[in-house]
Structure 1
Amino acid sequence: MKSSDTKIVLLIVITILIYSCNTVKRVPDGKSLLVNTEIIVDGKASNQESVNEILIQKPNSRILKIPLSLLVYNLAQPNPDSVFKARFIEDSVRFKRIKRLISEKQVYRLGESFFYQGFNNFLKSSGEAPEIVDDEKTKKSTQRLYNYYFNNGYFDVETSSKTDSVGFKRAKTTYEVSLGKPYIIDSIKTAISSPDVDSLYQVAKSNSAIKSGEQFKSENFSEERNRLTSFFRNRGVYQFQQNYINFDIDTIGTGKKPNITIEITDFNYRKGDTIVTVPFEIFTISEVNIFTDSPSSKNKIKVADSISYKGFNLYSTDKIKYKPKAITDAVFITKGNVYADYQNTLTNRYLSNLKVFNYPTIQYIEDERDTISNSLIANIYLNPRKKYSFLAAVDFTHSNIQDFGISGNTSLTIRNVFNGAETFEFAVKGTVGSSRDLAGSNDNFFNISEVGVDAKLNFPRIFFPFNTDKIIPKSMIPSTNFGVGFAKQKNIGLDKENFTSSLTYNWNPKRFNTVRFDLFNIQYVKNLRIDRYFDVYRSSYNALNTIAEVYSNQVNPDYFDPNNNLIIESGTNGFLNDVLGPDPSIVTTNEDFRSVRGIDERKKRLTENNLIVASSYSYTKSTKTSLLLNNFYILKAKVESAGNLLSLLSRTINEPLISEGSSTFFDVEYSQYIKTEFEFIKHWDLKRNRVFATRTFAGVAIPYGNSNNIPFSRSYFAGGTNDNRAWRPYSLGPGSSGALNDFNEANLKLALNAEYRFKLFGNFRGAFFADLGNIWNFLDNVTLEGAKFTGIASLKDIALGTGIGTRYDFSFFVVRFDLGFKTYNPANEENRRWMKDFNFKSSVLNIGINYPF
């Protein structure tokens, strides 16, 4: 590490140490700051996180043993009003002087400004007030420890606590726990009044959370109560609630082996002034009514139109605007079936997924026509969204391509297009920008532009020539998306025209599992300004220009400008032809020849038009059931194949071959490859706002048949905000080649990321991270040594970036700042790879939205 970096780090450490000496500045006299708590269980210190979380009073949070949140709080003035009053109001001379500059009213308003009130309030809300030792909180914590161990089978547990001084205004609290022997469950019996419920219990008991021979735990009893309630309600016991389940725990004379009786009482309800008790019954659905344009049943609905379709009754206050099948396919509550809670959940999900209704309301009433009173009428109330919705947005941008840009997009959504709950979206987006690189005497300020249009049509079912319900039932909430798009650039890159089209099927085999199948995904990229290649890819031009200077005595002088640089396009093409053409006139060394050939091959690859017709299958499994969950994993896998259909069609219609021997389709060379990807994300919740997150990624695309490389749009790159953060996007790899090009990409990628996240203070979060990974060329036509993956030995070229990050949590999104350092750089010589670029000068600052994984 350079001396300047060392000084910066040393300054930060000294600053923290100075502040850390001032942790008790807000602790009142006679009080003590709680600096440590310890739990002693049967004579041994307990580091069990779940036990420590029980305590009501804990020391202020620490990062690297520094109470940063407390230090931030201590920076705030305790009484900013008094400070302002003494400085500006009671000092008459200063008050008069300032009043001459601004009005008297504005002087008083200064006391409410950010500099006095706002900033101090921000510090207090972002930090943590000192945790003062409180005897009442200590007693409550002691009782909580007792309850925790008692509920885990230690019925003879004893707890106590003591607080000792450990320095000036500092104290430590110690909790002592004596467990005794745990209680082990002996026998399990039942006392169930309702015959129907008893029969269902006999079916469900094998999966009980309470087992004989296991240690008593209260959470198992709660789990069993929830499990049985869910089981009964999903099998027709409509009136059942958790409070009907009780547990009798007999410990008298059992020798610490309690006997358990599961008691399930009958259903009781109030009828007039008396309580009526009757056995639970299994309810069936006698009628399903769907109100297609009524958000609720609060107001009496005036029905103007109705349809009966396959056991469903559809009603509307106007003419029904939906095909019955489109609505009934989304309803899993069916006439004649027993009541089940899960059917409500599926119906809610499917109806919401149609995107033409807001969240539906489902209500049940007992069917009075049923003489034995065990039938239900299901009423479903739908609240339609507006048929048309329009959105528009404008944004200002800055990038390495444009110095200033204005982008805008508009979208129109039309719902229920064909009366089958279909959704059509049409979007137009455009960007105009200014680039000094393109400026000239007659140029306009806005000299670059991009425009694009997209159209998407969604069907809430599998759109296919034959019925797929047996393969993909409606419970999997299937949908079909058809999309087309076009985008065109001017003075950006090679001025591409990009045509896209796709037909995609989506479904959910399980609640948090998704499948995506692209029957076809077509992309045609046409480069309009191939002559600008060396203007755009400057590193390739600089490398070629350097080699041309070496052979200047053999090079046609017309290839150079007055500054002895190759002229784009005549000079660069002339030099390439003289070295690589059919009749070469310039003799180079083998190394220079390979370099020129590599530049020419990359130029041909990036300037050629691409036609990709691919099919792919993607599978995602997640255990993340809510946004706030911090203990989960996500598994993603994808397989993609391109070019096989075009290969068959090309041979069928006898399309001509191009000079390199590749086939074409309507005179365009098409890509052919197989691609597979795997990604695994895992988060561990370490409690106290701490999370350890990891990601593993592996992907490879192998060209074959009509291709010897992978199109740029389907290749991999390394570096960037969501990858290896010590390198900028496209600036890492391939392998140890040292990122020779402006945009470095390859067809094989391995990556492993790890991140420790923690709370700093307030809404500020911090992180330490390590990013491993690189890209390589594998089984393609790249010959550059160091860029190719040749086996296990190539893994020595995996780059390592480490760093720190700060984030601000706005609840609905997170703004992220990550500073990455090149810890192991495979581009350096093997004896200079470790820590040689580990300094602020070579670091990379990444700014992103939300977490990288």
Structure 2
Amino acid sequence: MRNTFTKISLFILIGILISGCASEKKVPNGKKLLTKNVIEVNNKNEKKELIHNQLYQKPNSAILGFPFRLNLYNLANSKHDSIYKAKFIANPEKYNRKSKWLSAKQVNRLGQSFWYAGIHEFLMKSGEAPVILDEKSTKKSEALLKSYYFNNGFFNTKTKYKIDSIGAKKAKIKYTVNTGNAFFIDSLQTKIISPILDSLYNSKKTNSLIKIGKQYKTDDFNAEIARITSHFRNNGIYLFQQNYINFDIDTINKKNKVGVDLKINDYSYREGDSTKTKPFIAYKISEVNIYTDFKANKSKSEKKDTTKVTYNNFNLFSKGKLKYKPKAISDAVFITKGSLYSDTKTNLTSRYFSNLKVFNYPTIQYDFDTKDSTQNALIANIYLTPRKKFSFGTSLDLTHSNIQDFGIVATTSLSIRNIFNGAETFDIAGRGNIGSSQDLANPSDNFFNVFEYGIDMKLNFPRIFMFFNPDKIIPKSMIPTTTLNVGYAKQRNIGLDKENFTSTLTYNWTPKRNVIARLDLVNIQFVKNINLGNYFKVYSSSYNTLNSIAREYPSTNPDFFDDKKNLIIESGTNGFLGSSLGNNPSIVLNDIDRKIVNSLNERKIRLTENNLIFASNFTFTKTTKSDLNDENFYSFKTKVESAGNLLSLIARASKQLDNQGGSNTVFQVEFSQYIKNELEFIKHWDLNRKKIVAFRSFIGIAIPYGNSNSIPFSRSYFAGGSNDNRAWQSYSLGPGRVASFNDFNEANLKIAMSAEFRFNFFGQLNGALFVDAGNIWNVLDNVTDEKAVFTGLKSLKDTAIGSGMGFRYDFNFFVVRLDLGFKTYVPSEEYNKKWFRDYNFSNSVLNIGINYPF
């Protein structure tokens, strides 16, 4: 296998080398392929991507130095049509023979088939034509470099270029830049004619981005224009636009100094054939009209059968009876009667209505109030188009997993908008799954022997519901919502056949732009295991370990085994556990085996116990990502969760008796008590030309206390999988340096880091090289195995490292991802076998995912 792989790799390498040698084969005679741009700034080689991006003409893109797309293009034959015809011209008999069993028309069409034409068109489309050096483009690049440095305060920049031939058809360009000294701002004078603008400017003058002593940068002036415009328009200056702001730059008789004059003229307008000016004035809102059932194909002025309701100085119009509570609509409007015009309030109103999910994106327009004698009044008109009251959805999916050989999942959902006439939304969804599993005992020989069904309900309110008025803490400008979720699911012949009940009461709000806060005031989960006897069928690795140990001891009761000397599930497995553990075991195990069997038993108890989690948590998320295409950002997320404290108080108050394990119970179920905290940081660097470096770090810890000595399985951490350490499958890594024999490994501490270099092959196909590092550990719980316990910084040597490569195809609305991970550092191996021991395809892990991992 390895020899075959070596031969294939060598074959591919030779092919790449051959292709690379021919990278200029489609360069016309007398022309040269641009292979490299060199920029030298003040006698130093400049490698910054930002500077090189100023150049008008760049070499062909490369992946790790190899011009992959150029070589794809070179493989194509642009004259495939004439070559196809030429082979018949040279051999007419061949054409006649083909025409006998194919028509002449079909033979001609064959030349347009994928094999003759399509493959070449695909290669040319996916590839990249050679970049031919063009001196006109070189001169443009020189001018762009000079402009870049000029805009950064180097007014005396001098540039030149030199073309160096690297062969008959290859060349590189060297740009030389001498920037001279930078210019700094030494004065700032203002001339603002309109008194109100002059007053507004001076009120925020300290926020100016143009400061004395600062190096001149054109970007600062553009940002200052945007700042001034925003400040004016948010304080009533409705007619103000950016083009009224002018900066005069004076460098006469100044050595490396710049004098700045800011000028803002009066409002100009046309009256007849002449242009007139007048001072700007601040406009106030005299009236707010809200049209609650506007239709785009109807006239805005149509008032037939229109009902008007006035509430808190808002005029609400509707066809017939108003279908919404006035407060629900007015709460979404930040434009108020008597207030100054403001762009921010307009945008905030649009965001709030969009967030309601009851209306389409609103249209907000302003008209001059001709009835107002002061001539500085505006009428705000808000046009709302309601979405449909009811909407239905269905889906059908085919599934496959390690439990189901074949499965069919069907879901149906119903959404009801404005259910209580307060812009609330109610969603109810039912799901069902039927599947087939050959691993289950199936005396009736039914094909479908796996079942699951569930129902989820969600009620969303566009406000915060609390026992006090939270408006001073969370004002409506933060667009708050309250969501109540209730869900129930039941399984049959799936794992331990769980019944799962969940319920949450959630508050969401946005304190600032790109900042999201979420409070789960109540987060309840009750998990009941029905089929406990199926444990060792589900956790087969645990069964195999226990079975192999039982076989080693002659004192094991023969009744525990079947005819093939395998432990019978469940009588044999429980019998062996009972006989080998305890104070007076009938089967005396050696120390190592007793430790393993005891661990298996403790894990069985842990994973078969019912869980009652009554928690509260708070999540804070901040990101600088401006839109979906922004690839130069960071995001930070933290979550704090506490569980069991309220139930502990209730249990004590009701004098609830302890169970046999010494823990308090509610409804005869031990409730979980713990504190949990998570931190996640993601950073992307955009290197341009579809090259991105992405980094993610995560740390999470859950500490049990009080009523618990371990964390519930559903709240613990695991390592491995398509969004984690991709060299290991989900749940297969850790904890610590344990070479675990469990099917699902989990712990209560996790540290993880990942880095990716993402690049484009061609079109929508992208690639990635990645390194993942991390592991899980036990800390401050009931696990005592020193290999699994985190004891301090020295335990970080048990951090697993995986590396690999991936392919991603972007369908625009989602990304399909294939990642191949290789085990680079395996902490569970012996000291001299940790690095690159399993770094091969036979031990690699293929991960299939949707969208990027981070």
- SS, match of residue 25 in structure 2: coil
Cα distance in structure 1, aligned partners of 2:543 and 2:248: 83
Letter in 2 for 1:655: Q
After TM superposition, the score normalised by the length of structure 2 is 0.97
Cα distance in structure 1, aligned partners of 2:201 and 2:255: 29
Cα distance in structure 2, aligned partners of 1:106 and 1:321: 65
Cα distance in structure 1, aligned partners of 2:319 and 2:115: 59
Cα distance in structure 1, aligned partners of 2:448 and 2:88: 51
> CA distance change for structure 1 residues 661 and 441 in 2, over 3 Å: closer, same or farther?
closer
Aligned residue in 1 for 2:764: 763
Cα distance in structure 1, aligned partners of 2:236 and 2:771: 53
Cα distance in structure 2, aligned partners of 1:106 and 1:90: 19
Aligned residue in 2 for 1:529: 531
Aligned residue in 2 for 1:263: 263
Aligned residue in 2 for 1:312: 314
Q: How do residues 312-351 of structure 1 correspond to structure 2 at under 5 angstroms?
A: 312-351=314-353
Aligned residue in 2 for 1:199: 199
Aligned residue in 2 for 1:678: 679
Deviation at residue 181 of structure 1 after TM alignment: 2.7
Deviation at residue 141 of structure 1 after TM alignment: 1.2
Cα distance in structure 1, aligned partners of 2:308 and 2:583: 79
- SS, match of residue 357 in structure 2: coil
Q: How do residues 804-819 of structure 1 correspond to structure 2 at under 5 angstroms?
A: 804-819=805-820
Letter in 1 for 2:485: G
Cα distance in structure 1, aligned partners of 2:509 and 2:601: 45
Cα distance in structure 2, aligned partners of 1:672 and 1:299: 59
Q: How do residues 584-623 of structure 1 correspond to structure 2 at under 5 angstroms?
A: 584-623=585-624
- SS, match of residue 249 in structure 2: strand
Letter in 2 for 1:13: L
Cα distance in structure 2, aligned partners of 1:18 and 1:733: 45
Question: Which digits, 9 at most, give the CA deviation of each residue in 1:591-633, with x for residues without a partner?
Answer: 2112111111111111111111111111111111111111111
Cα distance in structure 1, aligned partners of 2:269 and 2:376: 15
Aligned residue in 2 for 1:127: 127
Cα distance in structure 1, aligned partners of 2:537 and 2:319: 65
Cα distance in structure 2, aligned partners of 1:116 and 1:652: 83
Cα distance in structure 2, aligned partners of 1:20 and 1:706: 67
Retained in 2: the 8 A contact 1:478–1:505?
Answer: yes
- SS, match of residue 320 in structure 2: coil
Aligned residue in 1 for 2:690: 689
Retained in 2: the 8 A contact 1:816–1:848?
Answer: yes
Letter in 1 for 2:389: K
> CA distance change for structure 1 residues 261 and 295 in 2, over 3 Å: closer, same or farther?
farther
Letter in 2 for 1:252: I
Cα distance in structure 1, aligned partners of 2:765 and 2:366: 47
- SS, match of residue 511 in structure 2: strand
Retained in 2: the 8 A contact 1:69–1:762?
Answer: no
Aligned residue in 2 for 1:185: 185
Which ranges in structure 2 are unaligned for 5 or more consecutive residues? Answer: none
Deviation at residue 563 of structure 1 after TM alignment: 0.8
Letter in 2 for 1:564: K
Aligned residue in 2 for 1:160: 160
Letter in 2 for 1:416: N
Q: Percent identity?
A: 59
Cα distance in structure 2, aligned partners of 1:616 and 1:133: 60
Cα distance in structure 2, aligned partners of 1:680 and 1:436: 43
Q: How do residues 802-841 of structure 1 correspond to structure 2 at under 5 angstroms?
A: 802-841=803-842
Q: How do residues 512-661 of structure 1 correspond to structure 2 at under 5 angstroms?
A: 512-551=514-553, 553-581=554-582, 583-661=584-662
Letter in 2 for 1:356: V
> CA distance change for structure 1 residues 581 and 101 in 2, over 3 Å: closer, same or farther?
farther
Retained in 1: the 8 A contact 2:520–2:616?
Answer: yes
Retained in 1: the 8 A contact 2:406–2:435?
Answer: yes
Cα distance in structure 2, aligned partners of 1:658 and 1:89: 94
Retained in 2: the 8 A contact 1:126–1:763?
Answer: no
Cα distance in structure 2, aligned partners of 1:121 and 1:816: 26
Cα distance in structure 2, aligned partners of 1:844 and 1:89: 53
Q: How do residues 693-712 of structure 1 correspond to structure 2 at under 5 angstroms?
A: 693-712=694-713
Deviates more, 1:656-665 or 1:373-382: 656-665
- SS, match of residue 842 in structure 2: coil
- 1:730 equivalent to 2:731? Answer yes
- SS, match of residue 227 in structure 2: helix
Question: Which digits, 9 at most, give the CA deviation of each residue in 1:20-58, with x for residues without a partner?
Answer: 111012111221110111122233322232221011111
Deviation at residue 440 of structure 1 after TM alignment: 4.6
Cα distance in structure 2, aligned partners of 1:345 and 1:694: 33
Cα distance in structure 2, aligned partners of 1:474 and 1:347: 10
Letter in 2 for 1:828: E
Q: How do residues 166-315 of structure 1 correspond to structure 2 at under 5 angstroms?
A: 166-296=166-296, 298-302=299-303, 304-315=306-317
> CA distance change for structure 1 residues 72 and 570 in 2, over 3 Å: closer, same or farther?
same
Question: Which digits, 9 at most, give the CA deviation of each residue in 1:419-477, with x for residues without a partner?
Answer: 00000001111222222222656322222122111010000100223311111100010
Letter in 2 for 1:185: I
Cα distance in structure 2, aligned partners of 1:811 and 1:316: 39
- SS, match of residue 847 in structure 2: strand
Cα distance in structure 2, aligned partners of 1:366 and 1:423: 36
Retained in 1: the 8 A contact 2:442–2:449?
Answer: no
- SS, match of residue 614 in structure 2: strand
Select the residue among 472, 475, 480 that pairs with 2:474. 472
- 1:741 equivalent to 2:742? Answer yes
Aligned residue in 1 for 2:49: 49
Q: Which has the higher contact order (CA 8 A, sep 6+)?
A: 1
Retained in 1: the 8 A contact 2:429–2:456?
Answer: yes
Deviation at residue 584 of structure 1 after TM alignment: 2.3
Deviates more, 1:420-429 or 1:142-151: 142-151
Deviation at residue 257 of structure 1 after TM alignment: 2.1
After TM superposition, the score normalised by the length of structure 1 is 0.97
Cα distance in structure 1, aligned partners of 2:443 and 2:453: 25
Retained in 2: the 8 A contact 1:73–1:129?
Answer: yes
Retained in 2: the 8 A contact 1:294–1:301?
Answer: no
Question: Which digits, 9 at most, give the CA deviation of each residue in 1:496-521, with x for residues without a partner?
Answer: 11111111111111111111111111
Q: How do residues 448-463 of structure 1 correspond to structure 2 at under 5 angstroms?
A: 448-463=450-465
Cα distance in structure 2, aligned partners of 1:88 and 1:774: 65
Deviation at residue 707 of structure 1 after TM alignment: 1.2
Cα distance in structure 2, aligned partners of 1:465 and 1:106: 79
Deviation at residue 19 of structure 1 after TM alignment: 1.3
- SS, match of residue 177 in structure 1: strand
Cα distance in structure 2, aligned partners of 1:57 and 1:482: 57
Deviates more, 1:127-136 or 1:681-690: 681-690
Retained in 1: the 8 A contact 2:768–2:805?
Answer: yes
Aligned residue in 2 for 1:793: 794
Aligned residue in 1 for 2:429: 427
Letter in 2 for 1:596: V
Select the residue among 396, 418, 421 that pairs with 2:420. 418
Retained in 2: the 8 A contact 1:186–1:259?
Answer: yes
Question: Which digits, 9 at most, give the CA deviation of each residue in 1:284-317, with x for residues without a partner?
Answer: 1111111001145854322521111111110012
Retained in 2: the 8 A contact 1:737–1:785?
Answer: no
Cα distance in structure 2, aligned partners of 1:274 and 1:100: 82
Cα distance in structure 1, aligned partners of 2:814 and 2:56: 30
Q: How do residues 79-158 of structure 1 correspond to structure 2 at under 5 angstroms?
A: 79-87=79-87, 92-99=92-99, 101-158=101-158
- 1:446 equivalent to 2:444? Answer no
Cα distance in structure 2, aligned partners of 1:299 and 1:238: 22
Letter in 2 for 1:83: I
> CA distance change for structure 1 residues 80 and 447 in 2, over 3 Å: closer, same or farther?
farther
Cα distance in structure 1, aligned partners of 2:322 and 2:103: 66
- SS, match of residue 681 in structure 1: strand
> CA distance change for structure 1 residues 298 and 528 in 2, over 3 Å: closer, same or farther?
same
